[in-house]
Every structure is written in structure tokens, then in C-alpha cells.
Structure 1
Amino acid sequence: MTPETRSGRGASLVGGMLERRYRVDSLIARGGMSAVYRGLDTRLDRPVAIKVMDAQYSGDRSFVDRFEREARAAARLHHPDVVAVYDQGVDRGPDGDHVFLVMQLVEGCTLRDLIMARGGRLPLAMTLSVLAPMLSALSAAHQAGMVHRDVKPENVLIGTDGSVKVADFGLVRAAAEAGTTSGSIILGTVAYLSPEQVTTGAADARSDVYAAGIVLYEMLTGRPPYVGDTALSVAYRHVNDDVPPPSGLVPDLPQALDDLVVRATRRDPAQRPENAEVFLDELQRVRTALGIAPVALSVPASEERTTQMATAAEDPPTEQIPAVGDTPVAPQRTRAMARPATDDEHTQDFSAVAAEPRRDRDRRHGRRTVALWTAVVLVLAALVGGTAYWLGIGSYVQVPRVVGEPEAAAQQALEGAGLSGNVTRENDNTIPEGVVISSTPGEGSRVRSGGTVDLVVSLGKPKVPEIAQGTTVAEAESAIRNAKLQPKRDESGDQYHSTVPEGRVIGVNPAPGTPLNISAEVTLVVSKGPPPVQVPDVRGMSRDDAFATLSNAGFEPYEAGRQFDSSIAGDHVISTDPAIGSEVRLVGRPRIGVVLSNAVEVPSLNGLRVADAQQQVAALGLQLSVQSFFQRPNMMIWGQLPLPGSKVEPGSTIHVTAF
């Protein structure tokens, strides 16, 4: 019989498509709130795990909104020890809506499978090698302002490559705010719930530390510290008993590990490590002091299967766990449980735990004396009084309506009810800036007087951030993503800029400060460097004047040779390379070749004696050819060709007539 058939649910999804992109291939497992399937992202051709929430949540708008926000927050957790969240959505079809989450597919087993395969206890080195990455993942979440709220072995995955990954961030919080639950409901796995989650429903980073301490206890001993016939009896133990040192069951454990477990599971949250990062630091100090090196983890052969943070449909709920020595504990399911009430009926429920054994003894021993009855009544009164004191009978108040109210009005309403507000801010496309999006616990929930209510206040639509000119593209893209927007490059829109270097950002489009919907595109305008400059017209200039003109334009001139040009005087510019008028980009100082004229200007020789004329033309690199009717000493020149002022090539001959 397949898991789909046994569960009676989910078979219709197998073989189908969600949002026309994600193919549902097979059911992996089912938990308290959802089912997990192996699937395929047909767009990217990538295997994925698809968590589909139970139908009771699909029609609850408050759950869907919170689910989307928590999924976006979880998707921002980029950490090697966190199961990556790829996408979330709501598939709407004729058979109803399916709220789903698309995650990294992890091949391997859960920590629960590993514990059971090992017969209960894990070796000490293996225990610490699991706990360290588990705390590292929680630390990343706490630094991002997230709280897991349901830390347990089922949500810790062991990959076939030995990796440890934590899954299911934020889902319990989303379900806790859904209309299907109320303020009197505890949502979580009772064996790992912190006392404050039982009494008020509130949870912070220290609540995750408590649950991690319980998981550590279970890895060391093979069982959680509290098991019982009912979920309420286990919850009662969390509230009223201190978690015992694990050496009570495993005597050879080092004292340092006892201290680590006891400190992490203090009933008073203020006495625990303030977050997973601090807990991890303490763990590393203990590991170093004990000289315990990390070990490679391996998935037991019988457990090599695809798993994704859910238990099979036939897994027993928490209250059915047998309290037997070191017997491995069955998988724990996230469940909704009625929070202990604060009226007389609540007192009777808890007092019955202590009174029932006494009535049994009374029936066995017969009628007591009046004095003994008086003592019994006094003992019962003390028990009831102690329970009432711890659970705060009469000291609970209801969370007022704050959703949809301006932040100041919400804080005033909470103060009027004897509560305080802890504000975090998120962008929202529809809710105006400064208005409360949600509260945890929600409206009408019962919270101990003086407690804290988490408020999510809208920042309104995200605004295009201010990007300084000259910022790198990577820095600009990061700033845009941090503003909940999507950066875009369009090279056709890049521009020249005289001061912003090539490849750096000039600006953005739309302009900074423009409000946009979440994930809307913002185009980066990137510099192509300085605009190109035309090579100035230096033809006919002297060498020195041309070099000065080119240098002033940002170029580096150099002499590129000489040529003859009858129209250009010697040592004056004939042409340039690149050519005059060409556009050249001023990257550095571009070199410009200058071609000079080698023309020689013919001097006037008329009236000179032949001997003097020969000396003058020789100095110019020219030759003299003399024609005369009679050869006589001291002949005078009375005609010449070329004419004076003509430009000739070096070595040319000047013809003269003398007499």
C-alpha cells in the first residue's frame, strides 16, 4: 500500500503540476501540517522537494499572507546548513487551492532516522558533529531576525554527503497566525516546546535554544527528558520541572556536557544562551576542552532515502510515546494542543494529576482521620497555588486589535492592555507605511500581563535606493536587492561620463525614491567611460604648436615620421594617426602619431657669386647646377629654377644661370 493510499490524501496531486511549472512525482512523507513530495522544476529541469500545506490552511487568507512573508524570509537565508527555499505559491484548481513551498531536495535521512538506526544513543563525537551545524543554521536565522519555533530531530536532515541541514523555518509561525487556530492553541511538537511557548505561545531565539538543548539531551541519552501518556502531561513537565542532567541516564558523560544541556534548557529564558550563536560558542569551547574532533557523518544503509522534514502518516503522535528506559522515541509530529487555561477548570485539570494518586491510596487504606484529611487538603491547596502562580491565573490579558492600525495607535493599545510591542518592519505593496501588518500572538490571544507582542509594521512599497555615482555594479545590485527590488542591466542604456569610470554606476531608472512593488525591476545606468574626443585639426601647424594642442586635448603626441608635401612647410604637420577629426576615447592618455613635412624651401640665389650659392644650397641639403656661356671666376647668378620660395624634396637640384 502506498503512502498516498494509507493517508487517504494527496494521491490526486501525484502526477499533476503546480502553477504549470512544478511536476509532483511521488509522496515522500506526511507531517502534522503538510505533505512533502518529490518533484521537478520543469523550467530549470531541477529536482525539488515540494511541501504542500493541508487543505485547512489553503482558504485562510491570514495564513497565506503570513506563509508568503515567512517563505520570502526563509529564502533569504543563504547558509550551507539551511535547506534552501526556492519558491512559494498557491495553485488554484477545481479541486481547491494548494499552498506550497518549493525547496532543495535533500537525499539522506532525518536525525530521527539516525537516532533510531543507532538504537537510541548517538556516539559523543557524532552528537557534537550534528549539533554544531544545526546551531550554525539556527544562528544564521537568529541573526536575520527569524525564529524556527519547531526544532526537533525530524527537522534536521542528514545528507548522503554527510551534510547537516535544518528545515521548516517559519512554517509554525505562519500556521499559528492562521484563522484555523486561536490564542488558546499551542502549535508545535510538545516534546521540544519551551515553557514560554506552553504558557504564552510566545517564542524567540532562546526558545530555539531550549529545543536544541532537548535535542542534544535526546542524542546523548536516546530519549527526550519528558515523555507521557498525554501531550498535556508532557507540557506540564516542561513548565514545572527542570530538565535533568543527561548523566542521570548515561553516567559516563562528561560534566561539561551536563552543564551545557542544563544551561540551554533553563525554564527561565533569561538564564539560557541568548541565541544559537552564543550556544554554538559554548559548544565549541566544550568540544575543545574535551578534545573531541568532528567526525564524518554517514547515512545508515537502511535509511538512504529521500527525506524532507515530515513524518509518515502512521507515525504516532507525541502523547503515545512509551516512557520506557532507553527505548528509541518514535517520530514527533508538529501538532496543535490546547494551551493550559487560567480559570478554575484549568486548576482542576492540573490538580487532578496530583490528586488522583491520593484518591487511590485513600481507597486502599480506608478512611482517614480528620487531621489527615486536613493535611491532604492543605497539600492539594499548595499544589494548586503553585500551579496557579507559575501559569499566572488571573494575570493573563487578551491581545487587542492592532492589525491595520498605525504603529503609534497599536503601541498605545498594547500599553493599555499591559503589554509591550516589539516592532519589525517589512515592505508591503498594499498596506501603507507605518500601519501594522500582523501581530504575534494574534488578536484575542491570551498573553501574560507584561508580555511582549511581536508587531510587523509596513514600510509601504519599497523605494528605489540612492546609488552614489561611481558605485560598483555588484554593490548597486546588492543595495537594490536589499530594498526588496530586482536589479536589471540594459547595456543599450549605458552612457558616457566624463568623471565616472567605465563599468561603474552613473544612476538608476526609475529615479531614487520612486516607490515600486516588491521585486519590481530597477535598471542600472552604467558608465561607458569618458565620451570620445575628436582629434583636433593641427595640419599646417609647426611641430611644437601641434604637440601643445594635442596635449591640451588629452592626448599624448609622438612623431610618426616625415613625408614630402609641396603645400606644407618643413617641420609642419601633414597628418595624424588616428586621422584628424577621428573620435578617440580618452582612456588614459591615448597616443596620437604626428606626420611632419620634410620639404625644403628654395632660397633666392640671384646676385650671388656661384661659390657662395653652392655653400648655401649645400647647407640646405640641396645641389646646385650652373649653366654659363663663358666660364669665368667670380661669376654672378642672374637666374634660377625652381624659383625662390618653392618647396622641394631634400637632395633636389637647383638650376642657375651665371655670367
Structure 2
Amino acid sequence: MLENRYRVDSLLARGGMSTVYRGLDTRLERPVALKVMDSQYSGDRSFVDRFEREARSAARLHHPSIVAVYDQGVDHGADDDHVFLVMQLVEGCTLRDLIQDRGRLPLPLALSVLEPMLSALAAAHRAGMVHRDVKPENVLIGTDGSVKVADFGLVRAAASAGTTSGSVILGTVAYLSPEQVTTGAADPRTDVYAAGIVLYEMLTGEPPYVGDTALSVAYRHVNDDVPPPSGVLPELPAQIDELVLRATRRDPAARPEDAAAMLAELHATRTELGISAVPVPVPAGAERTAQLAGPPSDADDPPTEQFPAVAATTAGPQGTRAMQRPAVEPDDRTQEFAAVATPAAASPRRRARRRVALWTAVVAVLAVLIGGAAYWLGTGRYVDVPRVVGKPEAAAQQALGGAGLSASVSRDYNNSVPEGVVVSSSPREGSRVLSGKQIDLVVSLGKPKVPQIAAGTPLAEAENTIRNAKLQPKHDDSADQYHTSVPEGRIIGVDPAPGTRLDISAPVTLIVSKGPPPVKVPDVTGASRDEAFAILSQAGFDPYEAGQQFDSGVDGGHVIGTDPAGGAEVRLVGRPRIGVVLSNAVTVPNFSGQSVEEAQQQAASLGLTLNVQDIFHRPNAMIFGQLPLPGSRVQAGSAVNVTAF
């Protein structure tokens, strides 16, 4: 158990930095993957601090193609501390397994894997994170065909450990960018380089560089241009070569600026070639769960300051390594040339010289004619696509026109490129194309704007409008408000305000109406029935008699109370019904001065009985006293005692 919560079950994979186990979150009864870092990191305070920060950053990445991070911690055991990470358990395999099972992947399948990879990296880049260790072992393929990227931030955490120094390279040598080797620098273009290497490997079955040592492979990244994959597969389209070569330029400035830019180029290439997405398979018999650390064996080298050997036949699945950074710079090579003196040829006779000169002129003219024709029929009809990325649309159109090309313009939102500026071109800059060819330009619309949504719009329609604007709708019940005219469940407004520019997929809160605000039930206690009904009806309620009760303080036929009670708040949805409870009290009249016979008739009409006490029992006796007193309120059927004389 880790921290008395996470049960450690079977081993899934072991790598140079960590070991991954299948586990169970016993509190939530949820299967998880547990990445336990190597013991060399446990006692390193700088690593633990960095590890916690990177884990928190990774946990904030919410994307369907990113392995979710649930928790992180340090389990303080009796013998040793265990620094661990709790992640989503992905049943399936790694991209490494798929390449080993199938070898070269068909082009549609390779692009179908690359697209969610780049989408995941783009989400991380937008959040300010760089992966630094993109490789097939960190790309997981679920049994449902989903593709997910794992291990964000772990290399950066390891780089902070006291076990390494500024002269040590951390990463996987087959996928290291030149700047990682020479300076240790890493930014989104570093991930773009590694993604280009992974695409090369998917298409050809192996990475572009292999060598006897890790250092020799690192030197190749620094000093050699990545070859086009068509050198292995001649049938690959030129656009795929361009995609790989653009991503793997040795100069970071020549690569797409981040994964989102490379993803846009991938989309343009797929559209141009008409390649549709295909399901991503899991190799037959793949029964183990794919999770981060590389091949499930002890073969991977742990981080070290020595030069680990890299066999030429095993340069594919390499684990994350630490090695000394070579003190080299790209193309730092000097060539020396020596002059060679040759003796002058002996002079022939003048006539021979004249004949030779004549034939030389004839041959030169023929060469010019033949060369010109060959040039036009061969490469003369072709022109280079000029650089238009980063230029305003009008300037880009002018540059293409000057090169004898035309433009087809489409527009899309972009977080970093201003509105009206070219984001990408297809074919790309430097490509050789026929003169007059149409070049597809993607022009930035800038950051998306929060759209204007009319009050009263249905919630589902408003959500679609937000999504069409490349933003993410968000409905928070706590932000809903009462509104006198907008029906319940309809839109009142949005936050931020319409017209506000936001990053792509940024949240926009929809403010939804809760209907009319509640109103207080009028207090009609003591009013007559008719008065109470009139007051309640005018306030928007539907009054009804809810029965009668005796109340010595309220005249009969007047209101004792209501249900809901007066002062209670009630929402005016339709015409809410209000029950009115009336008093059935009888007010005792003044019987004094009446004859006994008259008093008995009046008492009977009111539902009262008369108890008479007289002195001489005369029929014409008159009443001169009574109890209860006149004006008292009694229940129907009550007796009134009178005295007659």
C-alpha cells in the first residue's frame, strides 16, 4: 500500500526513471496506474519539490488525448521513501508495441496516431508546459483505439535532481532535438522535433539515427539533417517528406512554432492528399496494460553520467537517459583546400588552335540550346514557393504572384498569430512546384471572439454557437439569475462579454434565466373573504378557500391565515394557488332590552342557544343581563346565559 490508500498490484513496466504498477485506489474503488520513481530520487529534496509542482501542472491538463493525473505523493516507509504518481489506467499497449508488432505503419494509420499526439501536445503548450520526452513508449493506445500521451513534466522534474548536473542530457537519445544536446534548452519546438522523429519511425519502422553509442546518435542530431522518409519508402508523397523535414529542422526557428502549428500543417497535408482517419488498432494478444516507463524489462539504462551504449540494432525503444552533454556546436567544421600548380601545356600550331576554337564555339552553342531546352522541359517550369508564413495576407498574395503562383485562402482562429496574417501554406516554403500552381494559405482570424447571443436563446443553441466560435461553453448553476421577461432555462447573457477575445477552447460562462423572481405572499389576515381574494388575485396568485377554523380574535368570515403564509416568497410560475383559511367565530349580539322570545329567535339564527333565568316566568319578561358579554366571539353552538325580569 502507498499512503494507506493505493494498493500496489502487478508490475506493468520498468524504465530508467521509474517502475509502473497496476494498482487500486481503495478509497474510490478505482483501478489506477502507479508510477513509482527510482529510489535515487526519493531523498532529493529538489526533485521532490519539482516533482510535486510538475504533477500539479499535469493534473490541470484536461484533454481526451492526455493520460489524466489523479494524485501524487511520497510514501514514507520503514526502509525507504517512495515518490509516486497516480494516473489513469489505460488498457491496451504503447505505440512501441504497435511498431514492433507491425513494423512500418501504413500512412493513414501513422497520421491517425500523430493527430491526437499533436492535439495533446498542443493542449500542453497552450498551458505553458513542454513534454521534453516524446517517444513511442510515452504514447498509449487504448483497446478502444484512443491515443493518449503520458509522462508530462517528469523529465523536467528529474533534471532538477541533485543527481544530475548542467552538463548532463536528460531524454531519450533517438528523439533528442539538437538544442537539447548542445544547450539543454527545451521549448514547444523541442516536442515538435521529437514528434517528427516519431512520425519518421512509424513510416519507416525505425528512427533516422542509430549508432554504436548514445553520444554518436546525439552527434547525428546536431550535425546531420534528418533524411526524408521517402528514402526508405519511395512511394511516400512529397508532402509527407515536407511534413517530416519541417518538423525536424536543426534550426528551431525553421520548425513549426508549437504542436498546434504542426497540427494545422498535418490537417492541411491530409486534406491535400485526401487521406481520411482510420481506427488505431491494438496488436493481437496485447494483454498487458500500457503505461509510461518503456519496455517491461530491466534492460533500460537508469540515469547516469556515463555514456550508455546504444546498439545499432536496438536504437528504437530507448528509455529516458542521462548522459554528458558533448561540447559541440552544429556544423562547427572547417575544411582546408590546397592549391595545385600545373605546368602550362605546350603551344600547338596556330591553325590547329583556330580549328579547335571553332569547334569549341559550335559545341558551346549546341550545349546552350540543348541545356536551355532541357532546363525548360525539366526544372525550368518549376518555381520555389516563397516564404509567406508570418506575412499579412496582401503581402503574401503579392509574393506568390511575383513567383508566378496563385493563392487559395482559408481562414482559421489562432492564439498567437494576429488576424490577417498567414499561419501556414501548402505546399510549404521552399517546395518546388509548377509555375502557376495554386498555393493553399491559412490566414489567421486571430483569437476567437465571444459571440453575441440574444436574450431568450435556448441553452443548447447557445452552446453550439460558442463551440462554433472555437470556444468552450460552460454552464454554472451558481451564475444563473432571475429574470422578469426571459423564460426559465433560456439565455440571459454570457461572461466574458460579447466581443472579448479569448484563447481557443477558453471557457465562456452561459448565464441562464431562473424565470421570474419570487414574490412575497400578501398578508391578508383579518380581511374579509372577498377583500383577501381580490388582493391575492391582483398579486398574481390564484386564491381558494382552504377551510374554516375558530379564532376568538377574528370575526367570522374573515381571514385567519393563508397557505403559504403571508410574507413567504413564491415563484410566479403560472398562477400559484394560495389557500385562504377563514374564521367561523360567531359574534355574540346584545340581547339586553329584548323579550325572551325575540332573543331566542336571534340566537337561533346565529347558531347559538339561549339559557334563560327569569324571576316570575312571565311570557312578556325582558332581558336585562347576559354572559358572554355582547361583542364576544364564540364557537357556533355555544350557549349564552341571559337574565330576564
For the residue of structure 1 that corresponds to 2:133, the secondary structure is coil
1:576 paired with 2:561, answer yes
What TM-score do you get using the length of structure 2 for normalisation?
0.57
1:237 counterpart residue number: 220
2:143 counterpart residue number: 160
1:133 counterpart residue number: 116
Q: CA shift at 1:564, angstroms?
A: 9.8
Which residue type is aligned with residue 332 of structure 1? Q
Cα distance, 1:594–1:93 mapped onto 2, change above 3 Å: closer
Determine the C-alpha separation between the residues in 2 that align with 1:45 and 1:219.
Answer: 37
Which residue type is aligned with residue 34 of structure 1? S
For the residue of structure 2 that corresponds to 1:320, the secondary structure is coil
Question: CA contact under 8 A between 1:189 and 1:318: conserved in structure 2?
Answer: no
Determine the C-alpha separation between the residues in 1 that align with 2:327 and 2:52.
Answer: 31
2:444 counterpart residue number: none
Which residue type is aligned with residue 124 of structure 1? L
Question: CA contact under 8 A between 2:20 and 2:291: conserved in structure 1?
Answer: yes
Pick aligned residue for 2:73 from 89, 111, 130: 89
Pick aligned residue for 2:325 from 317, 328, 339: 339
Pick aligned residue for 1:207 from 180, 185, 190: 190
1:110 counterpart residue number: 94
2:2 counterpart residue number: 18
Cα distance, 1:208–1:603 mapped onto 2, change above 3 Å: same
Structure-to-structure mapping, 1:291-370, within 5 angstroms: 291-309=274-292, 310-311=294-295, 312-315=297-300, 319-322=309-312, 329-341=315-327
What TM-score do you get using the length of structure 1 for normalisation?
0.56
Question: Identity of counterpart residues, as a percentage?
Answer: 66
Structure-to-structure mapping, 1:380-399, within 5 angstroms: none
For the residue of structure 1 that corresponds to 2:312, the secondary structure is coil
Cα distance, 1:270–1:93 mapped onto 2, change above 3 Å: same
Question: CA contact under 8 A between 1:565 and 1:599: conserved in structure 2?
Answer: no
Q: CA shift at 1:39, angstroms?
A: 2.6
2:420 counterpart residue number: none
Cα distance, 1:278–1:226 mapped onto 2, change above 3 Å: same
Q: CA shift at 1:21, angstroms?
A: 2.5
Structure-to-structure mapping, 1:153-552, within 5 angstroms: 153-309=136-292, 310-311=294-295, 312-315=297-300, 319-322=309-312, 329-341=315-327, 536=523, 538-539=525-526, 541-543=527-529, 546=532
Cα distance, 1:91–1:350 mapped onto 2, change above 3 Å: farther
Determine the C-alpha separation between the residues in 1 that align with 2:635 and 2:120.
Answer: 85
Which residue type is aligned with residue 60 of structure 1? D
2:402 counterpart residue number: none
Determine the C-alpha separation between the residues in 2 that align with 1:164 and 1:209.
Answer: 17
2:43 counterpart residue number: 59
Q: CA shift at 1:299, angstroms?
A: 1.6
Question: CA contact under 8 A between 2:519 and 2:570: conserved in structure 1?
Answer: no
Question: CA contact under 8 A between 2:547 and 2:582: conserved in structure 1?
Answer: yes
| Count of aligned pairs between the two proteins | 440
Question: CA contact under 8 A between 1:125 and 1:292: conserved in structure 2?
Answer: yes
Q: CA shift at 1:542, angstroms?
A: 3.6
For the residue of structure 2 that corresponds to 1:301, the secondary structure is coil
1:122 counterpart residue number: 105
Q: CA shift at 1:566, angstroms?
A: 10
Determine the C-alpha separation between the residues in 1 that align with 2:37 and 2:82.
Answer: 7
Determine the C-alpha separation between the residues in 2 that align with 1:602 and 1:313.
Answer: 107
Instruction: Give structure 1 stretches of 5+ with no counterpart.
Output: 1-16, 359-368, 373-528, 608-612, 623-636, 651-659
Determine the C-alpha separation between the residues in 1 that align with 2:189 and 2:140.
Answer: 22
Determine the C-alpha separation between the residues in 2 that align with 1:50 and 1:562.
Answer: 70
Query: Cα deviations across residues 445-470 of structure 1 (Å, max 9, x unaligned)?
Result: xxxxxxxxxxxxxxxxxxxxxxxxxx
Query: Cα deviations across residues 276-309 of structure 1 (Å, max 9, x unaligned)?
Result: 1222222122222222222222221243322312
Determine the C-alpha separation between the residues in 2 that align with 1:576 and 1:249.
Answer: 92
Which residue type is aligned with residue 318 of structure 2? Q
Q: CA shift at 1:648, angstroms?
A: 12
Question: CA contact under 8 A between 2:556 and 2:582: conserved in structure 1?
Answer: no
Q: CA shift at 1:179, angstroms?
A: 0.9
Query: Cα deviations across residues 255-284 of structure 1 (Å, max 9, x unaligned)?
Result: 221111111112222222222122222212
Determine the C-alpha separation between the residues in 1 that align with 2:80 and 2:552.
Answer: 92
Q: CA shift at 1:601, angstroms?
A: 10
Determine the C-alpha separation between the residues in 1 that align with 2:551 and 2:29.
Answer: 70
Query: Cα deviations across residues 73-121 of structure 1 (Å, max 9, x unaligned)?
Result: 1122222211222222222223222211122222222111111111x31
Pick aligned residue for 1:70 from 54, 65, 87: 54
Cα distance, 1:542–1:319 mapped onto 2, change above 3 Å: same
Determine the C-alpha separation between the residues in 1 that align with 2:589 and 2:338.
Answer: 149
Determine the C-alpha separation between the residues in 2 that align with 1:114 and 1:208.
Answer: 21
Instruction: Give structure 2 stretches of 5+ with no counterpart.
Output: 302-306, 341-515, 608-619, 637-645
For the residue of structure 1 that corresponds to 2:256, the secondary structure is coil
Which stretch shows the higher mean deviation, 63-72 or 105-114?
105-114
Determine the C-alpha separation between the residues in 1 that align with 2:167 and 2:552.
Answer: 105
Question: CA contact under 8 A between 2:517 and 2:571: conserved in structure 1?
Answer: no
Question: CA contact under 8 A between 2:192 and 2:259: conserved in structure 1?
Answer: yes
Question: CA contact under 8 A between 1:77 and 1:140: conserved in structure 2?
Answer: yes
Which residue type is aligned with residue 58 of structure 1? S
Give the CA RMSD over aligned residues: 4.9
Determine the C-alpha separation between the residues in 2 that align with 1:94 and 1:563.
Answer: 76
Q: CA shift at 1:247, angstroms?
A: 1.2
Determine the C-alpha separation between the residues in 2 that align with 1:168 and 1:86.
Answer: 13
Cα distance, 1:576–1:121 mapped onto 2, change above 3 Å: same
Question: CA contact under 8 A between 1:116 and 1:329: conserved in structure 2?
Answer: no
2:570 counterpart residue number: 587
Question: CA contact under 8 A between 1:531 and 1:585: conserved in structure 2?
Answer: no
Which stretch shows the higher mean deviation, 294-303 or 559-568?
559-568
Determine the C-alpha separation between the residues in 1 that align with 2:634 and 2:73.
Answer: 86
Cα distance, 1:169–1:570 mapped onto 2, change above 3 Å: closer
Which residue type is aligned with residue 87 of structure 2? M
Question: CA contact under 8 A between 1:538 and 1:549: conserved in structure 2?
Answer: no
Cα distance, 1:566–1:52 mapped onto 2, change above 3 Å: closer
Question: CA contact under 8 A between 1:191 and 1:224: conserved in structure 2?
Answer: yes
Cα distance, 1:134–1:201 mapped onto 2, change above 3 Å: same
Question: CA contact under 8 A between 2:109 and 2:278: conserved in structure 1?
Answer: yes
For the residue of structure 2 that corresponds to 1:37, the secondary structure is strand
Cα distance, 1:18–1:254 mapped onto 2, change above 3 Å: same
Determine the C-alpha separation between the residues in 2 that align with 1:547 and 1:184.
Answer: 89
Question: CA contact under 8 A between 1:191 and 1:318: conserved in structure 2?
Answer: no
Which residue type is aligned with residue 177 of structure 1? S
For the residue of structure 2 that corresponds to 1:87, the secondary structure is strand
Question: CA contact under 8 A between 2:132 and 2:186: conserved in structure 1?
Answer: yes
Which stretch shows the higher mean deviation, 196-205 or 99-108?
99-108
2:344 counterpart residue number: none
1:144 counterpart residue number: 127
Question: CA contact under 8 A between 2:61 and 2:124: conserved in structure 1?
Answer: yes
Question: CA contact under 8 A between 1:315 and 1:330: conserved in structure 2?
Answer: no
